[in-house]
């Protein structure tokens, strides 16, 4: 398990690291055949439960199972405390940034962020200018992708402030581990994640508009069963005890958004939408949309519903904006960023573009608006043809790309037929934001590159997941 090039979160040249000590003692006493059987049981459980995702544009990929690895990723309480503090700071700064660019735009007038990065950004919605969402919250649910390169070296890879997904896998991974290895949790004290749905509902309810009377009515808006994350939409609605609705279930009634029920229409106070901005309201955005609710933006701007996350938050997901996050954090908090950014080259800048073209084989190149591992180039793993193709793309549309050095990502062990083997991982912790503060679930979704040596952890690109343990000590 030792590695010269990559930091191993379990093993050092001197032995097993502290967070894994108790687990290692348990694992070495286990029968390999039993663990292999448990691994197959976990897969069967995921299939039976319907924990799948869809991949668009592939004929053979209507439904896929995300591979689950039964070796947990374990983080000490000390490590987590530092991470959580950094995420809290970053999430607050993102929310302040969004409020600013849709209102006074002080950060633009100060020259900290170039005006053109906002003005020419497809995710920036002019319809949100001058409007502040209920509770002053834009990003109610945030997923921050974090990678590790050393004992104390954590970097934010990207921010997911629009509609972060994956929390259902965090919860199901833990439930699966509890069912398979209950004895482990009596031996090792792990902080729970099961209260996330309760905290989510509480956080959403706290963002209800002032027009709300009594207990806020919350609902989850899904594009429908063909959406890649539909399982998560239905799972979260069920776990929160709220209705799962589609656009055709909703309408404007007396200046409010109401859902159809067996007893007539019922007013919704908070709508946790999993529909993209463009499809949210055909009267305001894409007129061909069949997924949204005609008139919902008028109701929203009138202050009669909270939409979570707020329309227009996708600006904060932009990878060019990401490159300014250290300055954004300092501008709004007056503090240096606790969590570091990965060094980023903005290909829109001539000097940066020249450097990227000269060093393409050593860099990772990403689309500014890309996600899911699509449209990116991992230079060290690319063929000559792929490098040539990306060279042409960069020259044609340089502003569409950013580039970053290939990080030496940490590894954690996965269970294989030959025993434990190191694989690269990232981590997506989930933060809930409300007027009452920021609540960060201890753990998150660990995504793992199942192919030896691979740095691509996205499930859509063949990655898997594992349970993430934050120790109580």
Has residue 47 got a pLDDT over 80? no
Q: Dump pLDDT digits (tens) for 123-166.
A: 999 999 999 999 999 999 999 999 999 999 999 999 999 989 99
Say what percent of the chain tops pLDDT 70: 94
pLDDT-based confidence at 458, cuts 50/70/90? confident
| 3-state DSSP of 287-309 | CCCCCCCCCHHHHHHCCCCEEEC
pLDDT surpassing 60 at residue 326: yes
**Predicted pLDDT of residue 48:** 77
User: What letter does residue 209 receive in the DSSP assignment?
Assistant: -
Which are the contacts of 90, defined by CB distance < 8 A and separation ≥ 6?
A: 144, 156, 159, 325, 329, 337, 338, 339
227 within 8 A of 216, measured Cβ to Cβ:
no
pLDDT band at residue 375, thresholds of 50, 70 and 90? confident
Per DSSP, what are the bridge partners of residue 156?
146, 341
By DSSP bridging, strand 419-428 and strand 411-416 are antiparallel
How many whole angstroms separate alpha carbon 472 and alpha carbon 97? Answer: 34
Q: pLDDT of 75-134, one tens digit each?
A: 999 999 999 999 999 999 999 999 999 999 999 999 999 999 999 899 999 999 999 999
* C-beta separation of 89 from 338 below 8 A: yes
List, in sequence order, every residue forming a beta bridge with 402; answer none if it has no partner: 346, 366
User: Tens digits of per-residue pLDDT, 228-259?
Assistant: 889 899 999 999 999 999 999 999 999 999 99
Rounded (10°) angle between helices 230-240 and 167-180: 70
pLDDT for position 60: 47
User: Is pLDDT larger for residue 385 or for residue 376?
Assistant: 385
Q: Of residues 39 and 473, which shows the higher confidence score?
A: 39
Compute the distance between CA of residue 196 and CA of residue 192 in angstroms, rounded to an integer. 9
Taking a C-beta distance cutoff of 8 angstroms, is the pair 171, 239 a contact? yes
Model confidence at 463, pLDDT cuts 50, 70, 90, reads confident
pLDDT digits (tens, 9 = 90+) for 183-233: 999 999 999 999 999 999 999 999 999 999 899 999 999 999 988 889 899
pLDDT of 61 reads: 46
Has domain 344-405 been given CATH number 3.30.1490.270? yes
Domain boundaries, the chain: 11-209+305-340+407-470, 344-405
pLDDT value at 450 more than 60? yes
- E strands within 124-249? 141-150, 153-160, 218-221, 243-245
Does position 455 have pLDDT exceeding 90, yes or no? no
The secondary element (H helix, E strand) that includes residue 446 is strand 445-448
| CA 101 and chain centroid, separation | 22
Percentage of residues in the chain having pLDDT higher than 90: 80
**What pLDDT sits at residue 373?**
57
* pLDDT band, residue 54 (cuts 50/70/90): low
């Amino acid at each position: 398990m030792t590695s010269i090039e990559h930091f191993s979160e379990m093993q050092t040249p001197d032995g097993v690291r502290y967070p894994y000590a108790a687990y290692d003692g348990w694992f070495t006493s286990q029968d390999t055949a039993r663990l292999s059987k448990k691994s197959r049981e976990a897969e069967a459980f995921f299939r039976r439960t319907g924990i799948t995702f869809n991949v668009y544009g592939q004929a053979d990929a209507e439904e896929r199972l995300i591979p689950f690895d039964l070796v947990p990723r374990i983080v000490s309480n000390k490590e987590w405390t530092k991470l959580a503090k950094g995420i809290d700071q970053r999430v607050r700064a993102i929310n302040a940034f969004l409020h600013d660019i849709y209102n006074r735009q002080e950060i633009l007038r100060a020259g900290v962020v170039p005006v053109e990065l906002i003005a020419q950004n497809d995710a920036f919605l002019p319809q949100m200018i001058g409007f502040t969402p209920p509770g002053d919250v834009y990003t109610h649910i945030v997923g921050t992708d974090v990678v590790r390169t050393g004992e104390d070296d954590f970097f934010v890879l990207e921010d997911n402030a629009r509609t972060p997904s994956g929390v259902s896998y965090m919860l199901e991974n833990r439930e699966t581990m509890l069912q398979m290895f209950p004895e482990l949790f009596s031996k090792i004290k792990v902080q729970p994640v099961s209260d996330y749905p309760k905290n989510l509902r509480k956080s959403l309810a706290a963002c209800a508009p002032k027009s709300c009377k009594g207990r806020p009515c919350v609902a989850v808006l899904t594009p429908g069963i063909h959406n890649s994350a539909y399982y998560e939409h239905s799972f979260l609605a069920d776990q929160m005890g709220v209705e799962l609705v589609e656009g055709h279930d909703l309408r404007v009634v007396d200046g409010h958004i109401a859902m159809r029920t067996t007893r007539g229409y019922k007013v919704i106070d908070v709508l946790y939408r999993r529909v993209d901005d463009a499809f949210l309201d055909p009267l305001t955005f894409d007129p061909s949309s069949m997924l949204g609710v005609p008139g919902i933006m008028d109701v929203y701007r009138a202050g009669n519903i909270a939409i979570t996350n707020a329309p227009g938050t996708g600006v904060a997901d932009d990878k060019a904006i990401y490159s300014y996050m250290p300055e954004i954090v300092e501008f709004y908090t007056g503090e240096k960023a606790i969590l570091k950014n990965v060094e980023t080259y903005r290909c829109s800048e001539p000097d940066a573009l020249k450097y990227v073209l000269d060093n393409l084989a050593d860099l990772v190149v990403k689309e500014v608006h890309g996600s899911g591992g699509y449209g990116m180039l991992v230079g060290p793993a690319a063929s000559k043809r792929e490098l040539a193709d990306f060279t042409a793309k960069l020259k044609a549309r340089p502003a569409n790309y950013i580039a970053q050095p290939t990080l030496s990502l940490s590894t954690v062990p996965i269970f294989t037929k030959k025993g434990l083997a190191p694989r690269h991982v990232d981590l997506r912790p989930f933060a809930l934001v409300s007027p009452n503060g920021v609540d960060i679930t201890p753990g998150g979704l660990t995504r793992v590159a199942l192919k030896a040596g691979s740095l691509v952890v996205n499930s859509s690109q063949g990655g898997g997941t594992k349970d993430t343990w934050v120790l109580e000590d």
